[in-house]
A and B are shown apart, each in its own frame.
Chain A
């Protein structure tokens, strides 16, 4: 499957494992529940490890574990559920997460600009057929009033 990562169309090299699926080598993501249950095994995993979070999950509880993850997938069950925008901001601004933050679920063209400003840098679009067109969304606005992850100084300090 193709995704957008850092404004480019790339082949996805991550496997998102169900809780029942057997562990395999290579880059995998697991749910928070599985991470908590199989913490010991997963820290020995060969290959990249990622975790999947929803807006219901207690973000602060996994902060001590962040060093284990090279990818955090934020799940948008519906595009109108905006909780993970705050998760992305906090992961970048407060918890200093430098790895990949990926949007999964109901991820649509028209939300990409705001998602990217909040620090999400890879996107599994709900409609993977329009990726070339979707890249344009990152340039919908050339400025933001606010302090964002991409522009840490608010406009009022720059104008």
Chain B
């Protein structure tokens, strides 16, 4: 993975010093709340219901075991001994004290981590595919490009006060695990007719209260032009984006109001001027790429026979393998998901003790790296198949072997009313209720791939608009109600879910999920997945069943 040089480390250290001084001046009354707000946000610090919340960036979801240990230490020392992973591959501390945040940032800087631009109206952490570099279907590893974007976007002097937040996601594979179509900019590594690899550029995707899928602004961009093109888009957006209404300030609205063709003309006109100045040279591309070269894989790993034997021998292991393990591009290696969706803890949460174990397991079994995913789980990306059983036993002992990846209980969920000051309704307790109700693993496996995404307000942090089943909490005269949508997806076949009908009271949400599942089981053709059934029959048959009793 990327290692800071003196330039990177100096800038990160200077940022800590700058924020320490800003915090001091705020506490001394020299900065007003309004003046301090954007400064703390650009260092990841929100003020929530109970306490501040600190969001720390994990660039494109990649962590070393050393960093994972540090995260565990920080959560013990400055918080309540657990952290929460987000849909943008970052993690959050729910209870840090405002006064201690500069110290937390200094500790993060000591392991080359930061919370820079993890909030605020600026360019946020660049996200990517958790299977980058290990996935056989990949055209090219997107991580060097993510790192190049990270550096360009970090402390960009022109784009610190944009109309609204700005998110970029990059994928190198046609299977989109990074939700690129619902990002402000989505970048796909693609091959053109001449066989050269470059980027397809999408712009104007986003969720929240106005979910919109991104549109293609350029079918093929040469790699050397990546930064100049991004800078052109950002400059056009910085000048044109609306600043009169924060709900209309995202670039998705700019694109909708002006039309993709007009935006393209403006961007291309801007791009002509800066293309040469910002051209990436091979030296820089190679400098970054050298940090993402393949590790020394053991060619004899494929000779192992025990992997198959142990699955036959131990059905629980076999279930975990079937659900949580996917193929690696190198024969003899596997990719193991660590589910953070256990029935006993909120989706995406993990304790400091578990983090320490995961870091140790990464050292022992997976090249000392851990990855976070858009679905709020973790990944060990380079495990020899012959060592998977030993790994599984250790995960099982720590409550980290929940075999539910991509099932109904692998729910994406926001913090909701329990932590977030924006929320209208709770989400974590409902995720728990769904997890408890549907605890029969055979039933879950029979249902197959179903993505529930549940947000506690229309800001939509859990991406409910692109859930196979989307659940949105709304406030009705002080009571919590829930609006269902069906048929959304954030993957390569991205689509926005269709509304099921009127909102449903909180105590009927789990029953409603059960009714939807029963309806699916009756309607599905053989092995047809949930999403395919919804797309084939439409929402009406589900609607009739759910509202039949009323």
Contacts and interface: CB of A to CB of B under 8 A. Distances in A.
A154 B18 CA distance: 22
A147 B277 contact: yes
Nearest to B14: A141
Interface string A81-94: 11101100100011
Contacts of A146: 152, 155-158
A142 B157 contact: no
A86 B277 contact: no
B11 interface: yes
B152 A145 contact: yes
Contacts of A81: 161, 243
B381 to A, nearest CB: 27
B5 A144 contact: no
Interface string B286-304: 0100000000000000000
A147 B239 contact: no
Interface string B271-284: 00110011011001
Interface residues of A, number: 34
A interface secondary structure, majority:
loop
A148 interface: yes
Interface stretch (A6-14, A33-41, A113-121): A113-121
A117 B157 contact: yes
B39 interface: yes
B243 A145 contact: no
A142 B159 CA distance: 19
Interface string B180-200: 000000000000000000000
Contact of A110 (B35, B159, B239): B35
Contacts of B280: 156
Contacts, number: 97
A141 B159 contact: no
B152 A82 contact: no
A137 to B, nearest CB: 9
A159 B7 contact: yes
Given A81-B243, A82-B159, A82-B238, A142 B14 contact: yes
B interface secondary structure, majority:
helix
A117 B156 CA distance: 9
Nearest to B284: A156
Given A141-B11, A146-B152, A83 B238 contact: yes
Contacts of B31: 110
Contact of A141 (B155, B238, B239, B277): B155
Contact of A143 (B10, B22, B148): B10
Contacts of A93: 274, 277
Contacts of B162: 82
B14 A140 contact: yes
Contacts of A111: 160-161
A110 B22 contact: yes
A79 B35 contact: yes
A147 B278 contact: yes
Contacts of A94: 273
A155 B155 CA distance: 13
B38 interface: yes
B446 to A, nearest CB: 51
A118 B151 contact: no
Nearest to A140: B18
B406 interface: no
A83 B35 contact: no
B239 to A, nearest CB: 5
Contacts of B284: 156-157
A108 interface: yes
A85 B39 contact: no
Nearest to B280: A156
Contact of A114 (B160, B235, B243, B281): B160
Q: Which of A110, A140, A142, A147 has the most CB of B within 10 A?
A: A110
B10 A142 contact: yes
Cβ-closest 4 pairs across A and B: A82-B161, A117-B157, A114-B157, A156-B284
21 contacts: A79-B161, A82-B121, A82-B159, A82-B161, A82-B162, A108-B35, A111-B161, A114-B157, A114-B160, A140-B18, A141-B11, A142-B10, A142-B11, A143-B11, A145-B11, A145-B151, A145-B155, A148-B157, A154-B227, A154-B278, A157-B281
Interface of A: 55, 79-83, 85-86, 89, 93-94, 108, 110-111, 113-115, 117-118, 140-148, 152, 154-157, 159
